[in-house]
């Protein structure tokens, strides 16, 4: 609770973005495109716009529509028409799959353009943004291939009866997307929903949503009928709240903070619809004394530095068996010392964080760690030549961090890594399960029995053994336990979330 209050007060205290007019660079601020309904941009009902800020400079370089209730109503109505009466509701699964495959091809064809947009919007290094586009295309490819392979069952029942189940789309699905991996998150939630035949209304995050603006255009270009997708850019409290509370929505997919996740769940409850919530984590690496440290340490270091630590599944706690604590601390300190932050074009280890509030949040954690006397083992650097108004933060390694300290328990969403020693296997499991979160974990050991034993005791949606891929592959079901949320995305599981089951009971005598 203290952290929430602090988050709110920090948000109020952050400086305003720099106006373009006073900046040295000369470029035109891209005007807002409006709201995307029935495969075309229309002016939003409200004349207002939301500024889009370049996190590497703090300069406004584009605007998006500030959609309100009227725009959301229009988008949902179009989606309803498409699903209930339109061509989209009658499209065969095989054709849905082919359309999704075409989207994958279009993303691949426009990958460089999309990566440049994404890097500018989020501040992430260009190579990371390029990798994001490969993953985004892959979501559409994977779910395109799966669209016509979701089968029902037949069930043996009473004599004279034939019973079958089939999976049906929910209808109109709402997708509320975060700013950390905007294009990937779009693919993760929209591709499986479309594969199952839902009509999707998407609310991207105001801090980074320009790739979503291009992706809906590519979806239209791929031949999706009118109303299959709609995009309502704008603010969370207005467009997001209007969408999640809309009585004509049949399902909500949300990724973001636990606080807003609770509001989404309340909105879903009021309309008696389901939702999936992916709410972040404080994911542990559990390093036993027999682990292969040459393998483990670079993966652990890169995993928290990637995307400036703004990865829901980042491994942000390293739990280390005491016998190897000093060795691990020294190895990770050497890694952190070499880490460099810079602009997207510099393409270094990490970029800035997303906005001034997030920078303030990371800096508050650093200041508190100092005040609490937590040893700072190593720091990375911010490259000379970056814009001082950019939202850069210093990657930092801390340890040993007391188990109950905020730094050891709360999600920072920044490039801060904490080391905590443990005594034995039972202690490691207790520590791994010792936060409110349960999204991911990694167990590092050469002892196969122990690896399996510990993996099965950790309360998390995904557990890696001797490896770690934040978020894992597209084929691998992913989602939270505890405060990390519920529901599963990725893999074939996502197709179950984005559909419902009907049982047809036929009495033939
Ligand atoms: P957030 O407010 O939860 O934003 C996530 C999404 O929800 C955005 O699209 C946001 O729109 C929307 N939203 C905000 N208020 C809403 C409301 N009342 N009703 C419906 N939708 C609403 O997250 P944030 O403020 O950007 O980030 C805060 C913290 O959340 C981070 O520090 C991090 O800890 C966590 N986070 C986690 C993830 C993850 O992947 N699990 C991703 C992002 C952030 P607007 O952005 O336009 O307000
Ligand atoms: Mg931005």
Domains for the chain: give ranges and CATH numbers.
23-279+488-501 (3.40.605.10), 284-474 (3.40.309.10)
CB atoms within 10 A of CB 270: 11
**What sign does the CA torsion over 354, 359, 362, 364 have?**
negative
26-30, 123-127, 376-380, 504-508: least confident range: 26-30
CA of 358 to the centre of ligand 2 (A): 12
Counted residue by residue, the chain has a size of 509
| Whether the Cβ atoms of residue 254 and residue 261 lie closer than 8 Å to each other | yes
Task: Report H helices in 271-410.
Answer: 293-305, 325-337, 356-371, 406-409
Atom of ligand 1 minimally distant from the CA of 354: 26
Higher pLDDT, 21 or 449: 449
- Active-site residue, from 278, 321, 489, 497: 278
Is 497 near ligand 1, meaning CB less than 6 Å away?
Answer: no
Q: What is the mean pLDDT of residues 374-384?
A: 98
Respond yes or no: is residue 312 known to be catalytic: yes
Global pTM value: 0.95
Q: How far is CA 432 from CA 309, 324, 416, 454, 458, in A?
A: 19, 18, 18, 10, 7
> Which residue has 């205290």 as its token pair?
13
Is 168 near ligand 1, meaning CB less than 6 Å away?
Answer: no
Residue 396, CB-side half-sphere exposure with 13 Å CA sphere: 22
Burial of 29 (0-12, 13-18, 19+ CB in 10 A): middle
Q: What is the pLDDT of residue 496?
A: 98
pLDDT over 50 at 391, yes or no: yes
Is 354 near ligand 1, meaning CB less than 6 Å away?
Answer: no
Q: What is the pLDDT of residue 26?
A: 53
- In angstroms, the CA 366 to CA 124 distance is 21
Q: What is the pLDDT of residue 15?
A: 67
Q: How far is CA 180 from CA 112, 121, 220, 345, in A?
A: 19, 10, 25, 18
- In angstroms, the CA 279 to CA 481 distance is 10
- In angstroms, the CA 374 to CA 407 distance is 10
Query: Is residue 409 classed as helix, strand or coil in its secondary structure?
Result: helix
Q: What is the mean pLDDT of residues 355-382?
A: 98
> Which residue has 């390029």 as its token pair?
130
Q: How many helices (H) and strands (E) does the chain have?
A: 17, 22
Burial of 455 (0-12, 13-18, 19+ CB in 10 A): middle
pLDDT in tens, 40-91: 999 999 889 999 999 999 999 999 999 999 999 999 999 999 999 999 999 9
Q: What is the pLDDT of residue 75?
A: 98
pLDDT over 50 at 254, yes or no: yes
Cis peptide before 400 (omega within 30 of 0): yes
Identify each DSSP E strand in 44-103 by its residue range.
49-54, 59-65
The partner residues of 489 in beta bridges, in order of sequence, read: 478
- In angstroms, the CA 381 to CA 244 distance is 41
Atom of ligand 1 minimally distant from the CA of 261: 3
Q: Which of 108, 107, 129 is nearest to 118 (CA)?
A: 129
DSSP string, 440-471: EEEEE-S-HHHHHHHHHHS-SSEEEES---TT
């Amino acid at each position: 609770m203290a952290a929430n209050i602090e988050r709110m007060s920090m948000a109020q205290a952050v400086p305003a973005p720099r106006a373009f007019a006073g900046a040295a660079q000369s470029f035109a601020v891209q005007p807002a495109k409006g709201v995307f309904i029935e495969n075309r941009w229309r002016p939003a009902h409200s004349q207002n716009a939301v500024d889009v800020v370049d996190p590497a400079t703090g300069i406004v370089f584009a605007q998006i529509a500030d959609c309100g209730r009227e725009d959301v109503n229009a988008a949902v109505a179009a989606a309803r028409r498409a699903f209930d009466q339109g061509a989209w509701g009658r499209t065969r699964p095989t054709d849905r799959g082919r359309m999704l495959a075409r989207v994958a091809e279009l993303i691949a064809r426009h990958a460089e353009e999309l990566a440049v947009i994404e890097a500018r919007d989020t501040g992430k290094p260009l190579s990371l943004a390029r990798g994001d586009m490969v993953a985004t295309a892959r979501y559409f490819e994977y779910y395109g291939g799966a669209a016509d392979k979701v089968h029902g069952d037949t069930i043996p029942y009473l004599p004279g009866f034939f019973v079958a189940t089939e999976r049906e789309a929910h209808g109109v699905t709402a997708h509320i997307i975060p700013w950390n991996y905007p294009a990937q998150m779009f693919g993760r939630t929209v591709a499986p929903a479309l594969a199952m035949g839902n009509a999707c209304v998407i609310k991207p995050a105001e801090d980074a949503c320009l790739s979503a603006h291009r992706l809906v255009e590519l979806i239209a270009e791929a031949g999706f009928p009118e109303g299959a997708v709609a995009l309502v850019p704008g603010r969370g409290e207005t467009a997001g709240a209007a969408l999640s509370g809309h009585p004509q929505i049949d399902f909500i997919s949300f990724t973001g903070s636990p606080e807003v996740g609770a509001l989404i769940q309340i909105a879903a409850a009021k309309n008696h619809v389901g939702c999936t919530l992916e709410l972040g984590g404080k994911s542990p690496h559990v390093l036993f004394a027999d682990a292969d440290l040459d393998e483990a340490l670079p993966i652990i270091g890169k995993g928290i530095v990637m995307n400036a630590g703004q990865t829901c599944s980042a491994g942000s706690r390293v739990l280390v068996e005491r016998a190897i604590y000093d060795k691990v601390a020294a190895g990770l300190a050497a890694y952190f010392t070499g880490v460099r932050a810079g602009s997207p074009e510099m393409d270094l280890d990490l970029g800035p964080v997303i906005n001034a509030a997030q920078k303030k949040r990371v800096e508050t954690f650093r200041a508190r760690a100092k005040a609490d006397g937590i040893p700072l083992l190593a720091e990375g650097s911010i490259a000379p030549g970056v814009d001082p108004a950019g939202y850069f933060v210093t990657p930092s390694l801390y340890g040993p961090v007391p188990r109950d300290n905020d730094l050891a328990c709360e999600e920072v969403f920044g490039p801060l890594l904490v080391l905590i020693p443990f005594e034995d296997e039972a202690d490691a499991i207790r520590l791994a399960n010792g936060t409110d979160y349960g999204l991911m974990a990694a167990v590092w050991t050469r002892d196969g029995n122990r690896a399996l034993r510990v993996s099965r005791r950790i309360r998390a949606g995904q557990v890696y053994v001797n490896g770690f891929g934040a978020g894992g592959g597209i084929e691998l079901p992913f989602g939270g336990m505890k405060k990390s949320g519920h529901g599963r995305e990725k893999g074939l599981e996502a197709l179950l979330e984005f559909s419902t089951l009907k049982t047809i009971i036929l009495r033939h005598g």
